[in-house]
Structure 1
Amino acid sequence: MKKAIVIGAGVAGVASAYMLCKAGFAVTLLDEKPAPAMGSSHQNGAQLSYAYCDALASPSLLAQLPGILLKRDPAYRCTLQADPDFLAWGLRFLINSTSARFSNNTLTLSRIALRSHALLLELLEKHPIEFDYEINGKMLLYPTLESCQKHAKILEQKRQQGFQLSVLTREEATVIEPALAHYPDPIASVVYSPGDAAGRPDVFCQKLVESLQHEYGLKTQFNQKVQRINHTKDRATGVSFRDSAPLECDTLVITTGQSCDLLPSKDRSLGDMWPVQGYSFTADAHPQAMQTSITDVKRKLVFAPLGKELRVAGLADIGQHRFQFMSHRFETLMQTAQAAFPHFFGEDQGPPKRVWSGARYVTPSSQPIIRRGSLAGLYLNLGHGTLGWTLSLGAAEQVAP
């Protein structure tokens, strides 16, 4: 039986391990953390936004760039760096901000998302794992008709791909989601996709790893940082560690941007990816809280119901290559959530149960890097940005030999 190694046990890595197990490989899953999904997948936004895989680089974001650089937009922070990689990434990001490139990038992501959705349903038929998964739909709240009309073209293109999308008035949307009655600001229109879902990515990874261990004999090694990719001539043959014996393989898949320094120089170029730091918190759901996933377009926040809890995520801090938790930025997230739904996040509700911050590696186009490496047997599945949870299975299918 051929052997495969997957580096990274987030949603991209666990999904890749799943696909390789199905393909008949003896798979070993590696991660430097002590358990699956302890990094970027741990407490992310939790929305499976199949109909909303919009690229980050866009004409609308480009128009906001002066305010972002002047720190007038609380949702975004951009710290300019005299780093060749950052400058190359930023230039390529600007190039991808045209209307044509935004549409092309978004529709490419949507095709991966459609496949990912189908694969998740297939997976759950065979592995009925519990991770608070629910097809609860999603709503985008637009503050003005103009802001919604700017997306009319891409909405129609998504409908042609097969997504069910409708534009509702506030009154129509509130019939479906009564929690909107507690939203204090004007809502000019709501884009609704009933097929979108939410679920806990960390629990998904943990449960799927357990299932793969039981059914396919998946091996795992945690608290293991790979020091080097081993190769003979032009073929990857395994990996080495600092304090344990090396592992051999026929196929090697790298799924975490933090491992890019392991790649051969031919597989790295200036501006391929850059980390974007986000924040989230999880709180007990108010009895009247939303049952539908919601994105507040004005505040750039996402709200995802997860069983008896509610996940709130947002902010995008770009520039620092080494991220750290910034208490004032987390406070911005809390204040923004309270402004959006004061009835659910007021002072009488108490502090959140869990807080999180993590860096997601983003490509200038938002399209993940899914391809063969320069060494035979080496595959890359990187750079999913904020869409890793949504794209995980569709992307992983493309790297399974």
Structure 2
Amino acid sequence: MSYAYTDAFASPSTVAQLPRLLMGLDPAFRLSPSLDPDFLRWGIAFLRNASAGRFRRNTLAGMMLAIESRAALDQLTQRHGIEFARSAPGKLILYRSAKSFAAAERVAAMKAEHGAKQSLIDAGQAVAIEPALGAIRPAIAGAVFDRGEEVGDPYRFCNGARAALAAHGQSASWFRTDIAAIEPDARRPAIVARDGRRFAADRILLCSGTGSLALARSFGVRLPIVPMKGYSITAAPGEAAPTVSITDAANRVVFARLGNRMRIAGLADLARRDAAVDPRRLATLIASARAALPEAATYDAIESSWAGLRPMTPDSLPITRPIAPGVIANTGHGALGWTYAAGSAARVAALIDRED
């Protein structure tokens, strides 16, 4: 969970990199251009959000939501005893050029004005915090360290949350149910399954990630969301595996220790709509991870791989508001769904309470 690393994707620096990204010169990024009107509208809105002023606003808004989310997660887990291997090893964000580190310093100063407690450190200090970085010390221009950043196992959390709901006896689950449409109604909205079943409710929360697009279209609403495909691998730790979470900004790859396993994630394939694992892109992630931290994991013995679609909004902020009578959206969390989840849920719950 990245409570302070909430930098909006739309920024002046991203726009400056667009020619390079569009030509495919960054192996971590792929763009699938489309003349689809929704994609074009999203792109225009993204460029509007790429100004310095909007980058500041969106980044700070994301940080405030993340802080709310940490408090909401604390309350939720304490109340229901949900255990998901949560720990706070801290996070080191590595920069490999003086220019990128100087830009990070400016963003960190902006966040510090609003309560973030991040430390700007040199390569020697980074290695002192995480000795596994010793082999790449000469390549580190500087780093940002936040000791409050956390890790946790989302699969275990979801199982714990489901058990907590079942213990209250006021929930029912219909897994593997293909939904065809949503029927808004101020009094009794409904979900319609493809097999003809109809589920009526007091409220419907649309929280289906990139799947929210088609469901919202079923009642005439177009959500400003584009999928951004990402990958992750899980492997046993290597000989120099970090215990602190590491984000290598240059290689666009993240390392997180989950017990006796290393989780590595990265890549950003914009507008890719299939969640299948592409072996070529998976190889790119592994190569990027090797380049970043050669001994972090047993790269020749990957235990599992995964690909998923991040629901990206133009401002990098989730949509948490009513979008039709009886229907409330909680979607568009981008790459920070795990970070924003509890805070977004708390905001939506408060919204429902006010409506009632």
Same fold (TM over 0.5): yes
Asked if the contact 1:264/1:374 (under 8 Å) is kept, the reply is no
Hey, what does 1:221 align to over in structure 2? Answer: 174
Aligned partner of 2:101 in structure 1 is 148
Instruction: Tell me the equivalent position of 1:34.
Output: none
Q: Go from structure 1 to structure 2 and tell me whether the alpha carbon gap of 1:340 and 1:198 turns closer, same or farther (over 3 Å shift).
A: same
Question: For 2:244 and 2:315, how far apart are their aligned partners in 1?
Answer: 29
Mapped to 2, the partners of 1:320 and 1:342 lie a distance apart of 29
Q: Quick one: structure 1 residues 249 and 183, their matched pair in 2 at CA, closer, same or farther if it must change by over 3 Å?
A: same
Cα shift at 1:213: 0.9
Give the structure 2 partner of residue 308 of structure 1: 260
- Looking at structure 1, the residues matched to 219 and 24 of structure 2 have their Cα atoms a distance apart, in angstroms, of 37
Residue of structure 1 equivalent to 2:86: 133
Q: Answer whether contact 1:138 1:196 (CA < 8 A) is retained.
A: yes
Aligned partners of 1:184 and 1:340 also within 8 Å: no
CA distance in 1, matches of 2:232, 2:273: 19
Q: Which moved more, 1:293-302 or 1:250-259?
A: 250-259
Of 324, 329, 333, the residue aligned with 1:384 is 333
Unpaired stretches in structure 2, ≥5 consecutive residues: none
Alignment of 1:203-242 (within 5 A): 203-232=156-185, 234-242=186-194
Alignment map for 1:347-358 (pairs within 5 Å): 350-358=300-308
Whole-Å separation in 2 of the counterparts to 1:242 and 1:265? 13
| Letter aligned with residue 223 of structure 1 | R
Tell me by how many angstroms 1:264 deviates: 5.9
Instruction: Indicate whether 1:198 and 2:148 are aligned.
Output: no
Rounded Cα–Cα distance in structure 2 between residues aligned with 1:359 and 1:250: 29
In structure 2, do the counterparts of structure 1 residues 66 and 110 end up closer, same or farther at CA, with 3 Å as the change threshold? same
**Which residue of 118, 138, 148 maps to 1:165?**
118
Residue 85, structure 1, aligned to residue 38, structure 2:
yes
Q: Quick check: 2:206–2:331 contact (8 Å CA) kept in 1?
A: yes
Structure 1's 390 and 75: CA in aligned 2 closer, same or farther, altered over 3 A?
same
- Alpha-carbon shift at residue 63 of structure 1 (Å): 1.3
Structure 1 residues 343 and 166: alpha-carbon distance in aligned structure 2, compared to 1, 3 A threshold: same
When the two structures are superposed, what TM-score results if normalisation uses the length of structure 2?
Answer: 0.93
Q: Is the 8 A contact 1:170 1:188 kept in 2?
A: yes
**Aligned-partner Cα distance in 2 for 1:264–1:316:** 25
Secondary structure of the 2:140 match is coil
Structure 1 contact 372–399 (Cα < 8 Å) conserved: no
Q: Counterparts of 1:227-376 in structure 2 under 5 Å? A: 227-232=180-185, 234-243=186-195, 245-256=197-208, 257-263=210-216, 268-269=221-222, 272-345=224-297, 350-375=300-325
Bigger shift: residues 99-108 or 204-213: 204-213
- Displacement, 1:386? 0.4
Q: Letter of the aligned partner of 1:380 in structure 2?
A: A
CA distance in 2, matches of 1:77, 1:242: 33
Q: Cα offset for 1:177?
A: 0.9
What are the ranges of 5 or more consecutive residues in structure 1 without an aligned counterpart? Answer: 1-47
Matched position secondary structure for 1:310: strand
Shift of 1:107: 0.4
Query: 2:152, 2:258 within 8 Å by CA — same for their partners in 1?
Result: yes
1:344 match: secondary structure:
coil
- For 1:29, the equivalent position in structure 2 comes to none
Distance 1:184 1:215 in 2: 52
Match of 1:44 in 2: none
Query: 273-282 vs 85-94, which deviates more?
Result: 85-94
* 1:174 counterpart (117, 124, 127): 127
* Deviation sequence 1:162-206 (CA, Å, 0-9, x none): 221110111112111111113365111110000000111122112
2:165 maps to a residue whose letter is: L
Q: 2-side partners of 1:303 and 1:121: how far apart?
A: 24
Say if 1:254 and 1:379, in contact at 8 Å, map to a contact too. Answer: yes
Structure 1 CA distance, aligned partners of 2:77 and 2:338? 15
Q: Are residues 1:119 and 2:80 paired?
A: no
Aligned position for 1:17? none
| Counterparts of 2:41 and 2:221, CA distance in 1 | 13
Distance change (3 Å), C-alpha of 1:103 and 1:267:
farther
For 1:256-275, what per-residue CA distance to the aligned partner results, in whole angstroms no more than 9, with x for missing partners?
Answer: 13033222677633x70100
Structure with bigger RCO (C-alpha 8 Å, 6+ apart): 1
Aligned partners of 1:267 and 1:374 also within 8 Å: no
**2:18 maps to which of 42, 65, 72:** 65
1:45-87 residue CA offsets vs partner (Å, 9 max, x unmatched): xxx0001011111111111111111111011011211211111
Q: Is the 8 A contact 2:92 2:145 kept in 1?
A: yes
C-alpha contact (below 8 Å) 2:228/2:268 kept by paired residues: yes
* Shift of residue 207, structure 1, vs aligned partner: 1.6
Moved more, 101-110 or 152-161: 152-161
- The CA distance in 1 between the partners of 2:220 and 2:66, in whole Å, is 25
